[in-house]
Structure 1
Amino acid sequence: MAADTPEPTPDLLRLAAAYGIVPDYWAHDGTQHRVTASTLVGVLRALGVDASSPERVALAIAHVEDMPWRRTLPPVIVVREGRNAHVAVHVEHGDPVRVWLELDPEAGGGRRDLPQADVPIDPRSVDGRLVGRATFTLPTDLPLGWHELHADGPSARARSTVVVTPQTLELPEQLRDGRAWGFMTQLYSVRSRASWGVGDLADLADLGWLAGRTCGADFLLINPLHAAEPVTPLTPSPYLPTTRRFVNPLYVRVEDVRETAYLSAADRALVEWASEPARALDTDAGPIDRDVAWDAKRSALEVVFAAPRSAARQAAFEDYREDEGQGLEDFALWCALVEKYAGQPWPAGAQDLSSPFVERARTELADRVDFYCWLQWVADSQLAAAQRAAHEGGMTIGIMHDLAVGVHPEGADVWALGDVLATGATVGAPPDMYNQQGQNWSQPPWHPERLARVGYRPYRDMLRTVLRHAGAIRIDHVIGLFRLWWIPEGAPADQGAYVRYDHEALVGILALEAHRAGAVVIGEDLGTFEPWVRDYLSDRGVLGTSVLWFEKDHAGKPLAPEEYRRLTLASVTTHDLPPSAGYLAEEHVTIRDRLGLLSEPVDQVRRAARAEREQMVEALGGRGLVGPQPSERETVEALHAWVLESPAALVGVSLADAVGERRAQNQPGTDQEYPNWKVPLADGSGQVVLVEELFDNARLRSLAAVLNRNRLDRG
């Protein structure tokens, strides 16, 4: 297939459909766009399919259509509890086969033989042999969990995974008829006098306890805490981690590691000396310097790691390491290799997890692997302490963690997970009203077929780690569980195509793991999506997201709050917009104009922003939420009162809004042009607000009173 052929042939479309590639999409402005043949060929190439000529396309079609018949069992079956499901088993035509389930030990264990269903299907000739299909029925009373399916016969011996997921993820009692509210913040931006230049897990514990105790907040939503690089320079964006399974030790509070208290005087001095350059940054209103903070912490943590641990502490560390298994060992080895070859090309074989070089490295770098495993154990312990503190402060939900869309293209997951992540394409978004060239997030996507082939275990393991100490989880770009915008390597962001995923499996496994963790799930369902998706997520118990500035009626006016969806996390703003004070002051226009991101004349954009603000203030006044010419603080509080008049089950309040901050944390469409993810929490005058002062802040206490008054008014 010639790469520059604009119109796909019927066979190319058939092949693309077999791999879940969507040949067209509807843009934000309601227009339909068709994907070119070259894009389809590029996406297929990233999926490992050669569609470079009509002959190759024909071969690929035959291969993909025969693929299920080559397998004795499907690699994985994901089914909802209480539902009937069939399993196709392929054997030599006419051969007998037995099929049974070994039940998940966490669900009670045991064995269940499966009955064969009377479903006549003609055999198929595959690779020169006649293959028959026997159909077996899964019972409807299987417990939730991860079960193992077995098939055995003269021409069949295979194992597979059956995952039974909840019909719907039940909400906590408080949210079934009532609501909860909480703060939203970027943890690194909220520092205390004891921080080392970056907000940390001890600060998180204090924030959770204080927000619950002094303000009556029920949750604290924070940025993803996924791991960054083990050596500087660190990638600032928490949404571009090296792995989503493990935690960034940048957030560890050194003094809260028990062994720190028992250091010798000389070692304690080393820790104090290491902290000085980082602590000096705590009150600096300039961009956060993660590199200074991590260099200081890593030096100090090396000292603490070398100190002896009690027998009980050592046993706990070993238990943690055993529980996390090979995934932790591989991540720690990757960290050790990055450290050893920092700034240099890796030797031959280093990129292959199964190579002799990597096996030798496990032995040669064992001490460093121990250190990086220990960092994860320490971080996990401090995360657990933060969630306990939040509950002890009165929060009903506690810490709400955030799950990024993907990972860095040169990170640990790409190294450790092999072909489960696709190469030759990256994830992004098609053009929309805010990014008219589209977006390329430079993240490799899950390979749908290969992820299913390994029984979704990498996805499950990632969820379990993030959910372990969470009262809730926010899924960034939750539409990615249904489809992702794949951009072939070398193509512009607008020349991509959507690739579909098995959403029944991905959402079901998410619901199962959240059920086991007792966590609420929120999906960020903003942007371009198919309308049925929101209904599906709601039916599965996954809450959506509502942002006041994006909620419009058919005439483009502010949507009345009573028209908001019930099952959502509603907020005034988001981390991709300036805080409310900045939005009201048209900071979103000023920044984009300064950085050359506007596609229309600045005066035109500013007039539209002013009209939007005036329309909103008029709507607030119409409900008696503001008087004539309200102050900035009065308007911000009224915006939150507007959201509180909605039926939304969760209401989020940006800490930046609570203290009058104007600066955005992130400006989409930029990299180095704006200090993305480096803005410390400050008030409207640019004065840094530390944790010690935060809950005495007059604006925060006034806004909290609005939230709690509404709670009382609702009974």
Structure 2
Amino acid sequence: MKASSQQQAPTSGTPAEPSGTPVNPELLRWLADANGVGTTYQGWDGNPHDVAPATLIRVLAALGVQAHTDQLIESALAESELAPWRRMLPPAVVVQEGTPSQVPVHVRDGSAVRLSVITEDGRKLEAGRQDAWVEPREVDGVTIGRATFDVPANTGLGWHTLRAESEGTVAEATLVVVPSRLSTAAPLEERRGWGLATQLYSVRSERSWGVGDFADLAELAALAGARGADYVLVNPLHAADPVPPVEPSPYSPSTRRFFNPLYLRVEAIPELAYLKPKKQAVIRGLMKQARKLNKDTTRLDRNTAYAAKLAALELVYGVRRSPSRQRAFEDFCRAAGTGLDDFALWCAIREDIDADDPFWTDPAAALGSPLVEKLRNELADRIEFHRWLQWLCDEQLESAQAAAKRAGMRLGVVHDLAVGVDLQSSDAWTLKDVLASGVSVGAPPDMYNQLGQDWHQPPWHPTRLAEAGYRPFREMLATILRHSGGIRVDHILGFFRLWWVPAGNSAGDGAYVRFDHDALIGILALEAQRAGAVVIGEDLGTFEPWVRDYLAARGILGTSILWFESDGDAPLAPEKYRLQALSSVNTHDLPPTAGYLAGDHVTLRSGLGLLERPAEEERLEHNATLEKMMQLLRQRGLLPADDAGTEEERIEALHRLLAQTPSVLLGVALVDAVGERRVQNQPGTTSAQYPNWQVPLANSDGDSVLLDSLDENERFNALLAAVEESIRG
């Protein structure tokens, strides 16, 4: 239905249909800019592109700003100027430690006002008022003045509370003091590090239940640490659906705060030992069947594996915990708070109600509604079960990190943070108040996806997230960093701006929405500093130079991929790589190096109809690119001048070349160390076309590679030894 100036405006946050009468484009652009919505963007062709007015109107509506008539635009422009004056305090204030910072306080003009800071450790600090005068404003018939206060210099890092008082009125807001620069990567500048990167689900052992798990992660960390590695970087371990069938992509999770019980090792749960013999026999039967999946080298069967694990976990859950174990469980639940309670509630309901059921979008079934609170009581035991699963995940991740540290790793486990969650997910339901509705995140058209991309993920609502004191963002980061030595942030550009696609629009018909990157990066740095963790930003693709400079200045490492680093039409010389970066030969969206050298991706994309030109032209260009890289390897003495070398020799040479870079971290893909050729994810395809995120680890002959064989795997040992030798020099 189209809206007109006489019709009632849609509910805030619901995208409105553009009016049949064109709006003033200049006014619309002003309003978009005032709300952080980009009206133009630079396309992959290097040219500027205007965002369609109808798209701007829908994106603004998702922000709660109605703009489908000139009258509404003028009203919204006026409100955008008055909004700060309507609040006594800003919704949240994020400042850098050691940097003089001010807080505006709005009160009735001429009224006495004081501002204090209640620190997280309970201290009360009085803020000093600046002798600065700002012209008062009339707001709703009242003259409002602005007083400016300095944040006390001795506040210290952390999460604090601002408290303003004036004429009996009190207002509070979140104050976050963040590091000016994250210092956790500094030791790597003194002594560089390297590590393995892998998709954990694909890395199985003889004891796996068809899918790699947390115990396998501990084993892999121990193996790599013994060979000099400093970390193991894994795919996002975020939770998916609570029951099969589950989404295979780890980058489209149900929540980014909690973990996927699919990765639990049932035999590592202490209570298993106290299960009655008949039930233990049932679990042994489930385990035996699940382990048969380890022989399949074509496609992982998550659903069968997860169903078997859930059946076993249900039995173990029934065992009474010892007093100390029960206290540990209760302490975990208490620390995780309402976030865990709400996630477990969603899991319990989701067991019986499909994700696409109207229940999840029914206002009467919103979190906190009488209906949902009734379900919370009725499903108490199922909620406890899902809280228990998260406790087990926490314990086993703690064990994996401890194993990595015992093996000599300086960082240990490095987690991966996905861009967002699925539109039909736990976070989309439990965090609805801080997510934008009616839009999803994606990417504008580029040379690889000329129609653009829609990832079907709801973005943070910038204003509502700030009004929540950034608490959901903080809790997500704190949980991921709890047992890790680092975090890789996928598409860290999303902390600066994200491509929003209104519902019903094509993926290319969207707009960029700006975020408060100072706040988001600052909070990321604060939580990482407290956890002693390194932060790696995936900053590939189109980035304005200042963004990379900004991240480097804040102590955030970047990402460099050998095949993407160039100097004109030649490979970039290794000494020209960035110091503050994790550099690797490839990434999970490219074939393993053995497959890339053979041009397997050209054959695959041709067969799937993904090429924009004949396969022969694509292959000729690929071969020319490879030859330039081989020439560089020969010039550096890493390959014989008159010999292309074997596949293993070329892969080793590429990693030795990478070791000549100044980058503080180097990455070795586990697939490269065993000769795997198949890509984990082929962008632009569905699971019916290609088994994305379902490829088990195998060698160049297609034989399954289990963790148990890695200790004596000559290819694995040779590549890791070459990297260790090269980086230590």
Task: Name the counterpart of 1:290.
Answer: 302
Matches of residues 483-562 of structure 1 in structure 2 within 5 Å?
483-553=497-567, 555-562=568-575
Structure 1 residue identity aligned to 2:158: G
Secondary structure in structure 2 of the residue aligned to 1:708? helix
Distance 1:700 1:19 in 2: 52
How many pairs align? 708
Task: Name the counterpart of 1:81.
Answer: 97
Q: CA deviation at 1:7?
A: 9.9
**Identity percentage of aligned residues:** 53
1:691 to 697, 707, 722: 707
Secondary structure in structure 1 of the residue aligned to 2:164? strand
Distance 2:504 2:164 in 1: 44
2:663 to 648, 654, 665: 648
Task: Name the counterpart of 2:320.
Answer: 308
Q: CA deviation at 1:2?
A: 4.9
Structure 2 residue identity aligned to 1:163: V
Distance 1:6 1:615 in 2: 54
Task: Name the counterpart of 1:668.
Answer: 683
Deviations 1:140-181 (Å, cap 9, x if unpaired)?
A: 232100011101121631100110000101135540222100
2:80 to 49, 64, 69: 64
Structure 1 residue identity aligned to 2:469: G
Distance 2:73 2:616 in 1: 51
Secondary structure in structure 2 of the residue aligned to 1:44? helix
Task: Name the counterpart of 2:491.
Answer: 477
Alignment of 1:623 with 2:639, yes or no, is no
2:622 to 585, 588, 609: 609
Contact in 1 for aligned 2:674/2:700 (Cα 8 Å): yes
Deviations 1:32-68 (Å, cap 9, x if unpaired)?
A: 2221212211211211211111111111111222111
Distance 1:513 1:453 in 2: 19
Distance 1:496 1:529 in 2: 18
Secondary structure in structure 1 of the residue aligned to 2:27? helix
2:113 to 84, 92, 97: 97
- Give the TM-score normalised by the residue count of structure 2: 0.95
Secondary structure in structure 2 of the residue aligned to 1:79? strand
Alignment of 1:263 with 2:278, yes or no, is no
Distance 2:511 2:22 in 1: 14
Deviations 1:456-504 (Å, cap 9, x if unpaired)?
A: 0000000000000010110000111111111111111111111110000
Contact in 2 for aligned 1:103/1:110 (Cα 8 Å): yes
Relative to structure 2, which stretch is displaced further, 330-339 or 56-65? 56-65
Contact in 2 for aligned 1:226/1:238 (Cα 8 Å): yes
Secondary structure in structure 2 of the residue aligned to 1:42? helix
Deviations 1:553-582 (Å, cap 9, x if unpaired)?
A: 1x2210000000000000000001000011
Contact in 2 for aligned 1:144/1:165 (Cα 8 Å): yes
Structure 2 residue identity aligned to 1:540: R
Relative to structure 2, which stretch is displaced further, 322-331 or 279-288? 279-288
2:126 to 99, 113, 116: 113
Task: Name the counterpart of 2:151.
Answer: 138
Structure 2 residue identity aligned to 1:647: P
- Give the TM-score normalised by the residue count of structure 1: 0.97
Distance 1:322 1:142, change over 3 A: same
Task: Name the counterpart of 1:249.
Answer: 261
Distance 1:696 1:330, change over 3 A: same
Give the gaps of 5 or more residues in structure 2: 1-16
Distance 1:482 1:405 in 2: 12
Distance 1:622 1:379 in 2: 49
Task: Name the counterpart of 2:14.
Answer: none
Distance 1:514 1:453 in 2: 23
Matches of residues 45-64 of structure 1 in structure 2 within 5 Å?
45-64=61-80
Contact in 2 for aligned 1:5/1:38 (Cα 8 Å): no
Relative to structure 2, which stretch is displaced further, 694-703 or 310-319? 694-703
Task: Name the counterpart of 1:451.
Answer: 465
Structure 1 residue identity aligned to 2:164: A
Contact in 2 for aligned 1:7/1:36 (Cα 8 Å): no
Task: Name the counterpart of 1:633.
Answer: 648
Distance 1:54 1:7, change over 3 A: closer
Matches of residues 97-496 of structure 1 in structure 2 within 5 Å?
97-105=113-121, 109-154=122-167, 156-172=169-185, 174-213=187-226, 215-342=227-354, 345=357, 347=359, 351-496=365-510
Structure 2 residue identity aligned to 1:330: D
Structure 2 residue identity aligned to 1:96: A
Deviations 1:88-143 (Å, cap 9, x if unpaired)?
A: 111122221121010112xxx31101111111111111223221111111122321
Secondary structure in structure 1 of the residue aligned to 2:570? coil
Contact in 2 for aligned 1:277/1:292 (Cα 8 Å): no
Q: CA deviation at 1:198?
A: 0.4
Distance 2:355 2:552 in 1: 47
Q: CA deviation at 1:433?
A: 2.1
Q: What is the root-mean-square deviation of aligned Cα atoms in Å?
A: 1.5
Task: Name the counterpart of 2:46.
Answer: 30
